[in-house]
A and B are shown apart, each in its own frame.
Chain A
Amino acid sequence: MSELLIRHACVVDPVNRISGEIMDLAVRDGRIVESVSDRAEVIDAQGFLTMAGGIDSHTHICGTKVNFGRYMSPEDMRAGRTLKKGQMHSTSGYSVPTTYGNSYRYATMGYTAVLEGAMAPLEARHTHEEFMATPLQDTMANVLFDGNWPVMEAVRDRDVKRVAAIVAWVLTAVKGFAIKITNPGGTEAWGWGKNVTCIRDPVPYFEVTPAEIIETLIRANEILRLPHSVHLHCNNLGTPGNYSCTIGSMDVAPDLNKERQSLYVTHVQFHSYGGTSWKDINSKAHVVADAVNRKPHIVIDMGQMMFGKTTTMTADGPMEFNLYKLHHNKWSNHDVELETGSGIIPVYYSRKSIVNSVMWAIGLELALLIKNPEQCLLATDNPNGSPFVKYPEIIALLMSNPYRQAEIATLPPETESRISLPAIDRELDWNEIAMMTRAGQGRALGLRKLGRGHLGLGAIADIAIYPLSIGAIDPSKEYTRVIEALRLTRYTIKNGKVIARDGEILSNRNKTTIWVRPKIPEQHRMDHDPDFIRNFERYYTVRMSNYPVQEAYVPESTCIETEAVW
């Protein structure tokens, strides 16, 4: 039995309606409990801001394309080196750190769980290998279904149960967490160097539309009763005028789940552009925010872009090629048979660029115009919009209108007529920040009931204590102190153990990989389906028996079993 008592914590826990109350938190065997014995280890939180561990619901930290981002960019590796020290391995990388680099930096920012945004099923083993080398966060993986041949065939046949059965087989085989669709249909078209422009374009050969893929997968997701909803990266990312496609995609989503959203739309900043070309690009964040405000069954994340150098990486292969043709630096692409694609290019977001300035404003506008913070989560699509180490700055921008105005003053003057940010004076409070960084993620991922994203009795004792007395400062004016405090926790606690203190890592390993195993009726299982098996063996280049990820790749594993409603 291990016990911990955190005294004088200033707790912000919106799920349990605790808003800046100074209190003690008792922890036994990794869970929050009513009280502990006097033998418990005691930590004095000194009245500092204390929240549940941060959860990143969309980040790229592990797997084939992430590693290729490192592999092709020694210049990025050189830009973020730290020495081997104590229990810490040496790290490399600024925008795409090594696995230890990611893990240590997240840990010292108080993050204890992360969802890898895009895992190609065929290469899932790779993602799990990197998860094993990401020692201090619980890890989950979105599984890509945007160009899955058997799924598209079943969608064409309007057979939603078959879609559900295929998804169940793949998720179980690759030990994945949720359904991800990246540019649905577009990644298959990219196999021929083509793309789809929006949700009504048919996918070459398969003759299904992105809208049909999205809607059918949402229904299949709810048949399987998966913890998370479908996780969508809309078609037409990064194109002027794409906001109408984004809204159209949201319109496709039925409202099927009472406990959480039915559709999670990711990095919406990249999908909220007005205008007809790069010359007249403008923000349509207000229109998109309005749509989200009217649709409680949609949750988005910001996909905030921050100025500076980073690496873009996505399963959206065609988008990356288009971006490459704008930037002319270097381009990698990796299409995955029968499933999906991916692309990578490094970028520099400049505050001298009107386009980049508009992008910067859009992310913030979304967060400030969407009324319910649990419907707009904080993320940068790390590292696409910016590396996650910029989260403290984003939080400060959301909490301080003067900070925003000071930043806007540094942008090209032409930006102002294209954005609405200068006129928005909303300033978020600590409750709302907690909703956007942990509580909302807990709900959106379907993990709240499993004790994540809050500090109620029975919750997992993942706790972040930031060196900031929130009652004593005004974030609107003292935003630099907010940034400073959120960069480095005083304590990060995971499963009741201190894993980081003042930037120093104190644990070798403390994690689990969360994955789902949906149970469907035996006779519908794909491992008994002659068509599925025949096509698998004929068109994949690995044997079906060698495809599933073995237990050896999830030595620390939390399997969520669901019972399908057939």
Chain B
Amino acid sequence: MLHEDVVCPFCACLCDDLKVETDNGTIVKVDNACDLGNHKFLRDDNHRLKEPIRRTPSGWTSATLQHAIDRTVEILLGADRPLLYGWSGTHGEAQSIGVHMAEVLGGVIDSTTSVCHGPSILAIQEVGHPGCTLGQVKNRADLVVYWGANPIEAHPRHMSRYTTYTDGFFLDRAFKERKVIVVDIRRTQTAEVADEFILIKKGGDYAVLSALRAIVRGKSDMIPATVAGVTKEQLLRIAEMCKKAKFGAFFFGMGITQTQGKYKNIRNAIELVDELNRHTKFTLTPMRGHYNVYGFNEVCTWMTGYPYAVDFCRGMAFYNPGETSAVDILTRKECDACLVVASDPAAHFPKDAVRHLGEIPTVQIDPYPNTTTAFCELQIPVAVTGIDAQGTSYRMDGVPIRVKSILNRGYPTDTDILGEIYRRIKEAKRV
């Protein structure tokens, strides 16, 4: 059976033009997807856990769904300070149940945001965010800047769907008319296709952004011969390209959010874009990773007022990343139970944080075994959102798209499992 306009649940490009062929309950062919998307669809059934598993002194053993849910409820109800973490690889409806659950439990809820674009959000909370939907870039932009981002490898269709290689309404020969600037500390694949590549010394982003801001403000006299390894001549040329563009689009990735300077880098980038808007049109968009990491920020914000790292222990939402974010809660050994949903913290968190995960009862809800499995007491496999579960997802620019279910593999969805756990918790707490 051929499914058209399928939405890819891999990265936050959320390409929605895939053609997927299924036959007898398996996916046999995928068109239009990138390598990453293809991999997710075509290799899906090789990797899935068949049923819940639990750890025993003699090793892993299978568990019934009933037991898995009972035990998860018991762990969460027995905890003083449970942490509910992850959420970026599932649909918004499940995320919403997660937030309600954290409120009833008086726990902490955080998403992978705190280890990817968390710093971007802190910067936005200081100075705002001049952005747009990706179609504005596609139809208008004659200049595209990728800073600390390598879309060719991390968001492979970004350039062909939204920026460099796509046709645009206001561009006659889009590919020739659009200029691309890439800024990075190494010559990435994306740098190879750039009209201008700025190679900066590691940790030099803040200084280079400041230099560009100064030039745009007409203060080029104060710029030294080189800034973080970039020549003044190149900086002047780049600033001129930006000012002369009719529509400039600035995209930034984790190469700038998680490097030295962190949120200060992003604040500087936003203020550069702000400055450029006094000369021409310029927008800025974070290259969000997981297909629905931004969705968690949206859901959590309309429910609690804050995009991530929310602590309900005082009966209301309290937000202070650095204190209430997952890595910090784990490293300080503050939480006494953890529910991991749709992410893989053990593969990304610092050693001390992961060690604590292994020391407390940790349950993971995820279709696939991953690094975190090794630190869990229990794992419950669920349907994969975008393959056998549907729901809302938010693209990196905030456009909400409903991802589809194209086959039934008999797994419960995140919403089913979390809904049942939440129901049981409410019952026990008499809410």
The chain A residues found within 8 Å of chain B, CB to CB, are: 62, 64, 67-68, 70-74, 77, 81-84, 89-93, 97-101, 122-123, 125-126, 129-130, 133, 191-193, 205, 321, 324, 330-338, 344-345, 538-543, 545-546, 550, 552
Contacts and interface: CB of A to CB of B under 8 A. Distances in A.
B302 A133 contact: yes
Nearest to B282: A193
B322 to A, nearest CB: 13
Given A90-B317, A92-B317, A331 B392 contact: no
Interface in B282-306: 283, 297-299, 301-306
A543 B7 CA distance: 10
B161 interface: yes
Nearest to A100: B303
B136 interface: yes
A72 B402 contact: no
Given A334-B132, A545-B4, A192 B103 contact: no
Given A543-B17, A546-B16, A332 B128 contact: yes
B401 interface: yes
B219 interface: no
A543 to B, nearest CB: 4
A319 to B, nearest CB: 14
Nearest to B276: A193
B402 A550 contact: yes
B125 A92 contact: no
B277 interface: yes
A335 B277 CA distance: 13
B184 interface: no
Contacts of A90: 103, 304, 312, 315-317
Interface string B110-149: 0000000000010011111111111110111000000000
B315 A83 contact: yes
B170 to A, nearest CB: 7
B305 A70 contact: yes
Given A90-B317, A334-B133, A345-B128, A133 B303 contact: yes
Contact of B5 (A71, A122, A545): A545
B366 interface: no
Nearest to B14: A542
B273 to A, nearest CB: 10
Contact of B305 (A77, A540, A543): A77
Contacts of A126: 298, 394, 398, 400
B316 A81 contact: yes
A331 B128 contact: yes
10 contacts: A77-B305, A84-B315, A93-B305, A191-B136, A192-B246, A337-B132, A338-B135, A541-B399, A546-B16, A550-B402
Given A67-B302, A92-B317, A129-B400, A191 B135 contact: no
Contacts of A72: 124-125, 128-129
A333 B399 contact: no
B398 A123 contact: yes
Given A192-B140, A539-B139, A331 B16 contact: no
Contacts of B96: 133
A321 B130 CA distance: 10
A545 B129 CA distance: 30
Contacts of A337: 132-136, 138-139
A99 B303 CA distance: 6
Contacts of B299: 129
Given A71-B124, A193-B277, A122 B133 contact: yes
A115 to B, nearest CB: 18
Interface in B1-35: 4-5, 7, 16-17
Which of A83, A90, A332 has the most chain B CB atoms closer than 10 A to its own CB? A90
Nearest to B315: A83
Contact of A64 (B125, B162, B297, B398): B398
Given A71-B307, A73-B125, A333-B132, A543 B5 contact: yes
Nearest to A73: B125
Contacts of B314: 83
> Which 9 interchain pairs have the tightest Cβ spacing?
A337-B135, A92-B305, A77-B305, A193-B281, A330-B128, A335-B132, A125-B400, A90-B316, A332-B128
A64 B167 CA distance: 27
A543 B399 CA distance: 12
Given A70-B306, A74-B306, A542-B401, 6 more contacts: A68-B398, A72-B125, A129-B392, A205-B170, A337-B134, A541-B162
